């Protein structure tokens, strides 16, 4: 298939950035979206142009590193799919595809499609952990966890920290990401001692980073590649309210 | 051949005496650092995977001053995150006869008697603590209805000792380590530098004293000094271009350290994983692994007749060859990886492979779906089935998956002693980056175990013994400047080359060559061919590679070119190592060395050693470390 790409090019954080149009030919439907960009980049390098910078690593939908807005949708229109797992068979021949970076004030553009998501790490630093020094843990069977709780905690824990939820949210809220972590730990007995301080600290850090508030528009779950549900946000709000009393 | 042989090498750190007591003895014998002094001691950790993340977190918690680096934008994204199947531990929660001794035994045997007994025993001992640690951190392992941890059996093991978190065990374990790390970052004991790539090791007065890194955003070349350096930079499977590794996985950190004097052990030991999604086209950038746990319920087969291209539904039962069950009745579909991989290659070589190009075999769940119901299969393997469908566009519930072996894990790496210290004092190497405890073949679910054992439990103890003699004082400025200049020169050379081919295109060509000549099956002839071609191709690369952009900006083309350059050098050493080892063992099959049934034939009399290579301007120098087996009697592995 042959495609026309409109790609956001921005040399540096200071640069204003603009859309540039490229034509790519002989794209196989079995290629992933990133492989299609690889093909474009190989050509750009040989022409002495700057290849399009984008983040990626695992290319199996698990590291959370890739991410771009494709035709206006974070990670593209395919449901529950990261950009690296999106395949070209979902596009029409001769389609025009618009590709932009995540756009949110707390995720400044570094170059082209690469953004800085370190705000997420700082939210985790605020309390997204259980304080347990290595070597002092009790036998794992000393603390049974109901299967339903373990499964629910797991569902929340599958968040890959990609930031699509933020990019999709009209308010630029990081609620889904933060809620996923809070929910994961608050469903487990291990997470209880720090449950209140964690919820407070993580929510406050999220605000301090400049993420917007949540108004329940649900755009986040619609694009989330891991299907993190909106209930986690309700859980976060409950935990936060209880902790702030 | 183009290498020379030097003095034998020996591990002097493992204590003598009964194997059960050695680790306790070593811990007791290791010097301690006074808590007030720990703050004054600086440690650099390269890599934030399971090994590096857990090590940095633990060292920070102990009170050392830690500086940590990774090339991704967050430590949570290290390649460990992709591990699917699970992690072994000798908990014997099932009461099915498992024990530390049995895990030790299975691992030594599975490693084809090319791993050290003392190390493997310690690994089995510590495995038990890893599960406790992870559970305490809130890692949501699979549980039974009674609330206790669930386990499953995994390739090559007859007991159920593998702990798992759906098909995302690596992710959950890594998040545990990452969270512990972020906690230390917040506490100020660890300084984290993301998007930084280590490009050289600083060795001064014979000791590892720091690193040269490149800030991948600004391009700035930085020097960081310390009392000890820990490399946890993962494996080098990407030398093959196509592998199950993340795209950024590289050899740069350990290769640069090798050039500075750290010996490289068993470089040719590559593990080929039997259950990956087959290659579909030239543009392909990586291969995706389907967890080996699939072999618990999936049955592997090919048509009995060659060239049978009927759709699956039209091939009757008696015209299917369930070859693993046929050849290895005791283990069936659960034979270890090297056996399963080679068997797949053999049936494809016979012309019985399925799918495009005949490079694939079926992994069929029809029986499991009949027996357990679609729901149960979906619960167990749902995410893997989904992944398969996404990539291939085929529905594995209604037609069998197609799988083929792919490069997965490298058992070779920098040589380390029992303390995990390399041949450069002050340079420690952990996780997949070291030559590890696996021997010539790694059993499933043991890499995660080793990474976390090294990072949480072993290194934090043994590095103290080295640091107790520190701080090591001022670092010789000349050594730092020299390393920095070397890094800059290489970057300039790559950028000023106005050639006609991209680094990726060279990498692809090198990868094909390695797969063909130094892959699953090697011969003297194929290796000699590779050794002729690699230097030519490397020369061409340096003359003709084109890298666009500048040094002082985010430049992914430059990053890639630098890594490919190191892969060339490593590839050559891998072939030399493979050529000198004229036996078959583990994942390394020398066609000249097989028994009457076509099974791998080890040569214990001549090769029961670790091959540790020293870098030399005149070619590599081989140092042999003899391996003794006091507890597990060397025997031919047989899964029949
Ligand atoms: C798809 C897949 C599935 C797997 N499944 C299993 C399984 O089920 N069970 C099992 O036991 N094992 C499994 N493995 C193997 C296992 O995941 C790895 O061997 C293990 O995670 C390696 O951990 P590590 O910490 O040594 O390295 P990695 O996790 O690879 O981490 C390397 C780190 O080093 C950094 N780094 C590398 N080079 C540089 C540099 N030059 N400068 C700065 N930083 C650098 C990276 O940023 C990263 O942080 C699997 C592997 C794959 C690919
Ligand atoms: S909640 Fe979903 S969209 Fe948001 S970071 Fe996590 S995985 Fe990505
Ligand atoms: S590259 Fe890892 S999730 Fe896409």
Between CA B594 and CA B173 the distance in angstroms is 39
Residue B395 has pLDDT above 70, yes or no: yes
pLDDT for the residue B336: 83
Rg of chain B taking only CA atoms, in angstroms: 24
If residue B112 lies in a helix (H) or strand (E), which one and from where to where?
Answer: none
Q: Is the CB of A226 under 6 A from ligand 2?
A: yes
Q: Which position has the token pair 């167990």?
A: B380
Q: B513 Cβ partners below 8 Å, 6+ apart?
A: B530, B533, B534, B537, B571
Q: Which of B67, B6, B63 is nearest to B40 (CA)?
A: B63
| Residue given tokens 């499977």 in the structure block | B237
User: Which tens digit of pLDDT belongs to each residue from B195-251?
Assistant: 999 999 999 999 999 999 999 999 999 999 999 999 999 999 999 999 999 999 999
Q: How far is the CA of A161 from the centre of ligand 2 (A)?
A: 5
Optimal mutation site among B128, B142, B175, B498, interface A, most CBs of chain A within 10 A: B175
Q: Which residues contact B370 (CB under 8 A, 6 or more apart)?
A: none
List, in order of start, the domains of chain A with CATH numbers. Answer: 3-100 (3.10.20.30), 117-244 (1.10.1060.10)
User: Does B175 sit within 8 Å of A157, measured CB to CB?
Assistant: yes
CA distance B330 to chain A (A): 32
* DSSP E strand stretches across B295-400: 299-303, 320-321, 361-364
Q: What is the pLDDT of residues A138-185, one digit of tens each?
A: 999 999 999 999 999 999 999 999 999 999 999 999 999 999 999 999
Q: What is the pLDDT of residue B309?
A: 87
Q: What is the per-residue pLDDT for B155?
A: 64
Q: Could you give the C-alpha distances from A38 to B284, B487, B511, B566, B607, in angstroms and in order?
A: 10, 27, 17, 21, 43
Q: Which residue of A has its CA nearest to B180?
A: A129
Q: Which atom of ligand 3 is nearest to the CA of A162?
A: 3
Instruction: Read off the pLDDT band of B557 (50, 70, 90).
Output: very high
Cα B29 to ligand 2 centre (Å): 47
Report whether pLDDT(B539) > 70. yes
Secondary structure of B21-77 as H, E, C letters = HHHHHHHHHCCCCCHHHHCCCEEEEECCCHHHHHHHHHHHHHCCEEEEECCCCCHHH
| Residue B291 pLDDT > 90 | no
Residues of B in contact with A150 (CB under 8 A): 140-143, 147
pLDDT in tens, B616-632: 999 999 999 999 999 99
Centre of ligand 2 to C-alpha B198, Å, is 29
Mean pLDDT of all residues in B285-307: 91
Residue B22 a catalytic site member: no
Instruction: Tally the residues of chain A.
Output: 245
Q: What is the mean pLDDT of residues B563-587?
A: 96
Q: With b meaning 16 or more CB within 10 Å and e meaning fewer, what string describes A202-236?
A: bbebbeebebbebeeeebbbebbbbebbbebbebb
Please, are residues A184 and A158 in contact by the beta-carbon 8 Å criterion? no
| Ramachandran sector of residue A112 (left: φ over 0; alpha: ψ -120 to 50; beta: rest) | left
Kindly list the residues from chain A whose CB atom is less than 8 angstroms away from the CB atom of residue B53.
none
Question: What mean pLDDT is predicted for residues B450-455?
Answer: 98
How far A158 CA sits from the closest chain B CA (Å)?
Answer: 8
Q: What is the DSSP letter of B320?
A: E
B263: left (phi over 0), alpha (psi -120 to 50) or beta: beta
The predicted model gives B401-429 an average pLDDT of 97
Mean pLDDT of B116-123: 98
- Chain A residues touching B172 at Cβ < 8 A: 154, 157
What count of other Cβ atoms lies within 10 Å of the Cβ of residue B425? 17
Q: Which residues contact B414 (CB under 8 A, 6 or more apart)?
A: B231, B254, B257, B258, B262, B263, B264, B265, B422, B427, B429, B433, B434, B435
β-bridge partners, B600: B594
* pLDDT score for B212: 98
* Contact between B109 and B84 (Cβ < 8 Å): no
Report the pLDDT averaged over residues B386-391: 90
Residue B637 has pLDDT above 80, yes or no: no
Q: Tell me whether the omega of the peptide bond preceding residue B517 falls within 30 degrees of 0, making it cis.
A: no
Strand partners, B57: none
Q: Does B182 touch chain A (CB under 8 A)?
A: yes
The DSSP annotation for chain A comes to: --EEEEEEE-SSSSS--EEEEEEE-S--TTSBHHHHHHHHHHHHHHTTPPPPP---SSSSS-S-----EETTEET-SSTT--GGG-BGGGS-TT-EEEEE----TTS-EEETTEE--HHHHHHHHTT-S----TT-PPPGGGS---HHHHHHHHHHHT-----HHHHH-TT-B-HHHHHHHHHHHHTSGGGSTTHHHHHHHHHHHHHHTTPBPP----HHHHH-TT---THHHHHHHHHHHHHH-
Cα–Cα distance, B366 to B388 (Å, whole number): 16
Question: Could you tell me the end-to-end alpha-carbon distance of chain B, in angstroms, rounded to an integer?
Answer: 37
Q: Is the CB of A65 within 6 Å of ligand 3?
A: yes
Q: Is B389 exposed, middle or buried (0-12, 13-18, 19+ CB in 10 A)?
A: middle
Put simply, whether the predicted model's pTM sits higher than 0.95 gets the answer yes
What is the per-residue pLDDT across B328-350, written as a single tens digit (0 to 9) for each? 998 899 888 888 999 998 999 99
The residue ranking higher by pLDDT, B609 or B599, is B609
Q: Label residue B167 by pLDDT band (50, 70, 90).
A: confident
Structure tokens, B71: 């090339």
Q: Are B441 and B271 in contact (CB under 8 A)?
A: yes
Neighbours of B63 (CB within 10 A): 17
Q: Is the pLDDT of residue A21 over 80?
A: yes
Q: Is residue B25 within 8 Å of residue B418, measured between CB atoms?
A: no
CA distances (Å), A225 to each of A132, B142, B382, B422, B507, in order? 30, 22, 15, 41, 31
Q: What number of other Cβ atoms are within 10 A of residue B350's Cβ?
A: 13
Residue-wise burial string across B490-523, b where 16 or more C-beta atoms lie within 10 A, e elsewhere: bbeebbeeebebbbbbbbbbbbebbbebbbbbbb
Which chain B residues are closer than 8 Å to A42 by Cβ?
Answer: 502, 504-505
Query: Ligand 1 pocket: which residues have CB below 6 Å?
Result: B 46-52, 69-72, 78-80, 82-87, 169-170, 197-198, 232-235, 244-245, 249-250, 252-253, 289, 409, 431-433, 445-448, 451
Of the pLDDT bands very low, low, confident and very high (cuts 50, 70, 90), residue B292 is: confident
Residue A220: closest CA among A160, A185, A173, A187: A173
Query: What tokens does B481 get?
Result: 């400047």
The reply to whether residue A124 touches residue B182, judged by beta carbons under 8 angstroms, is: yes
Q: Report how far residue A170's alpha carbon sits from residue A193's, in angstroms, rounded to the nearest whole number.
A: 35
Q: Which of B82, B79, B86, B600 is nearest to B296 (CA)?
A: B86
Alpha carbon distance A74, A102 (integer Å):
7
Residue B543 makes CB contacts below 8 A (sequence gap 6+) with B497, B499
Residue of B337, B402, B508, B560 with catalytic role: B337
Q: Is it the case that residue B640 has pLDDT exceeding 80?
A: no
- Contact status, residue A104 vs residue A2, Cβ threshold 8 Å: no
Tally C-beta pairs within 8 A across A and B: 219
Q: What is the pLDDT of residue B1?
A: 58
Beta strand residue intervals within B339-388, DSSP E:
361-364
Q: Is B236 exposed, middle or buried (0-12, 13-18, 19+ CB in 10 A)?
A: buried
Q: Which ligand is nearest to the CA of A163?
A: 2
pLDDT higher than threshold 70 for residue B156? no
- Count other C-beta atoms under 10 Å from residue B4's C-beta: 12
B506-532 pLDDT, tens digit per residue, is 999 999 999 999 999 999 999 999 999
Question: B370 pLDDT exceeds 90?
Answer: yes
Residues 193-232 of B with CB under 8 A from A: 194, 217
CA dihedral sign of residues B158, B163, B164, B170: negative
Contacts of B175 in chain A (CB under 8 A): 157
* Percentage of chain B exceeding pLDDT 90: 89
Using CA atoms, how far residue B440 sits from B9, B51, B411, B457, B609, in Å, is 19, 20, 7, 24, 11
Over residues A25-66, the pLDDT tens digits come to 999 999 999 999 999 999 999 999 999 999 999 999 999 999
Q: State the pLDDT confidence band at A135, using cuts at 50, 70 and 90.
A: confident
User: Nearest to residue B243, comparing CAs of B579, B566, B525, B567?
Assistant: B567
Q: What is the Cα–Cα distance from B243 to B289, expressed in whole angstroms? A: 9
Distance from the Cα of A117 to chain B's closest Cα (Å) equals: 7
CA–centroid distance, residue B256 to ligand 1 (Å): 19
Which of A144, A138, A179 lies closest to B132, judged by CA?
A138
End-to-end CA, chain A? 59
Residue B15 and residue B122: Cα distance in Å, rounded?
A: 12
Kindly give the number of the ligand 2 atom that is closest to the alpha carbon of A174. 4
B82, B131, B179: residue with CB nearest A60: B82
According to the model, what pLDDT value does residue B158 have?
A: 82
Q: What is the mean pLDDT of chain B?
A: 95
Q: How confident is the model at residue B356 (pLDDT cuts 50, 70, 90)?
A: confident
pLDDT value of residue A40: 98
The residues near B63 (Cβ < 8 Å, ≥ 6 apart) are B35, B38, B39, B189
Q: Do strands B621-626 and B4-5 pair parallel, antiparallel, or not at all (unpaired)?
A: parallel
Rounded to an integer, what distance in angstroms lies between the CA atom of residue B560 and that of residue B203? 25
The count of other CB atoms within 10 Å of the CB of residue A193 is 11
Q: How far is the CA of A166 from the centre of ligand 2 (A)?
A: 8
Helix (H) or strand (E) holding B625: strand B621-626
């Amino acid at each position: 298939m042959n495609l026309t790409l409109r790609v956001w090019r921005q040399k540096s954080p200071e640069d204003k950035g603009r859309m540039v149009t490229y034509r790519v030919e002989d794209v196989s439907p079995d290629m992933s979206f990133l492989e299609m960009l690889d093909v474009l980049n190989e050509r750009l390098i040989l022409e002495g142009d700057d290849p399009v910078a984008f983040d990626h690593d695992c290319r199996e939908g698990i590291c959370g590193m890739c991410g771009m807005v494709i035709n206006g949708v974070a990670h593209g229109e395919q449901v529950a799919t990261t950009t690296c797992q999106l395949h070209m068979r979902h596009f029409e021949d001769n389609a025009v595809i618009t590709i932009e970076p995540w756009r949110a004030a707390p995720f400044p553009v570094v170059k082209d499609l690469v953004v800085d998501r370190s705000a997420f790490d700082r939210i985790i630093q605020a309390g997204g952990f259980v304080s347990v020094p290595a070597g002092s843990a009790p036998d794992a069977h000393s603390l049974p966890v109901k299967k339903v709780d373990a499964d629910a905690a797991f569902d929340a824990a599958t968040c890959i920290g990609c930031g699509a939820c933020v990019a999709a949210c009209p308010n630029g809220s990081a609620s889904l990401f933060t809620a996923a972590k809070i929910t994961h730990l608050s469903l487990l007995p291990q997470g209880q001692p720090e449950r209140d301080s964690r919820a407070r600290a993580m929510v406050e850090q999220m605000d301090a980073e400049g993420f917007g508030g949540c108004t329940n528009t649900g755009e986040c779950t619609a694009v989330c590649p891991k299907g993190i549900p909106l209930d986690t946000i309700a859980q976060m709000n409950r935990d936060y309210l209880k902790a702030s009393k | 051949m183009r290498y020379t042989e030097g003095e034998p090498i020996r591990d002097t750190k493992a204590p003598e005496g009964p194997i059960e007591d050695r680790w306790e003895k070593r811990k007791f014998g290791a010097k301690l650092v006074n808590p007030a002094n720990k703050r004054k001691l600086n440690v650099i950790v390269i890599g934030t995977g399971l090994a590096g993340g857990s090590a940095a977190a633990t060292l920070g918690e102990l009170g050392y001053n830690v500086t940590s680096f990774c090339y991704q934008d967050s430590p949570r994204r290290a390649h460990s995150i992709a591990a699917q199947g699970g992690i072994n531990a000798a908990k014997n929660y099932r009461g099915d006869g498992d024990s530390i001794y049995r895990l030790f035994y299975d691992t030594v045997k599975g490693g084809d008697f090319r791993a050290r007994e003392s190390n493997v025993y310690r690994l089995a001992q510590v495995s038990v603590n890893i599960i406790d640690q992870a559970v305490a951190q809130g890692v949501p392992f699979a549980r039974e209805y009674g609330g206790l941890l669930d386990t499953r059996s995994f390739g090559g093991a007859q007991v159920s000792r593998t702990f798992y978190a759906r098909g995302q065990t690596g992710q959950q374990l890594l998040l545990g380590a990452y969270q512990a790390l972020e906690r230390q970052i917040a506490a100020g004991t660890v300084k984290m530098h993301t998007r930084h790539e280590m490009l050289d090791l600083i060795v001064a007065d014979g000791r590892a004293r720091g690193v040269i890194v490149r800030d991948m955003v600004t391009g700035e070349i930085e020097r960081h000094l310390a009392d000890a350096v820990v490399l946890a930079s993962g494996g080098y499977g990407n030398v093959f271009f196509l592998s199950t590794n993340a795209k950024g996985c590289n050899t740069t950190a350990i290769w640069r350290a090798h050039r500075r004097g750290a010996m490289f052990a068993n470089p040719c030991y590559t593990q080929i994983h039997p259950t990956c999604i087959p290659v579909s086209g030239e543009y392909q950038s990586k291969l995706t692994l389907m967890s080996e746990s699939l072999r618990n319920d999936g049955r592997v087969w090919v048509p009995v007749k060659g060239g049978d291209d009927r759709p699956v539904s039209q091939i009757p039962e008696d015209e299917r060859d369930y070859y693993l069950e046929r050849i290895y009745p005791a283990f069936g579909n659960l034979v270890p990886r090297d056996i399963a991989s080679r068997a797949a290659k053999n049936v494809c070589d016979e012309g019985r492979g399925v799918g495009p190009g005949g490079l694939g075999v079926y992994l069929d769940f029809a029986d499991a779906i009949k027996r357990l119901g679609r729901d149960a299969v979906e619960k167990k393997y749902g995410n893997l089935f989904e992944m398969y469908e996404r990539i291939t566009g085929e529905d594995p519930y209604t037609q069998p998956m197609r799988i083929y072996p792919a490069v997965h894990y490298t058992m070779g790496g920098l040589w380390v002693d029992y303390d995990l210290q390399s041949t450069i004092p002050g340079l420690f190497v952990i996780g997949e980056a070291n030559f590890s405890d696996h021997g010539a073949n790694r059993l499933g679910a043991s890499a995660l175990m080793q990474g976390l054992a090294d990072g949480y439990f072993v290194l934090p103890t043994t590095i103290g013994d080295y640091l107790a003699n520190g701080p090591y004082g001022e670092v010789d400025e000349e050594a730092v400047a020299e390393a920095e200049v070397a890094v800059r020169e290489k970057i300039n050379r790559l950028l000023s080359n106005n050639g006609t081919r991209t680094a990726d295109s060279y990498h692809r060509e090198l990868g094909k060559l390695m797969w063909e000549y130094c892959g699953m099956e090697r011969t003297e002839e194929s290796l000699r061919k590779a050794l002729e071609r690699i230097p030519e191709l490397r020369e061409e690369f340096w003359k003709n590679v084109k890298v666009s952009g500048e040094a002082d900006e985010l430049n992914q083309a430059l990053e890639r070119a630098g890594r490919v350059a190191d892969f060339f050098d490593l590839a050559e050493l891998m072939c030399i190592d493979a050529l000198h080892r004229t036996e078959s063992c583990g994942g390394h099959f020398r066609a000249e060395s097989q028994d009457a049934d076509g099974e791998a034939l080890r040569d214990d009399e001549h090769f029961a050693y670790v091959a540790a290579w020293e870098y030399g301007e005149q070619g590599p120098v081989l140092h042999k470390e003899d391996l003794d087996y006091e507890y597990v009697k060397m025997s031919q592995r047989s899964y029949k």
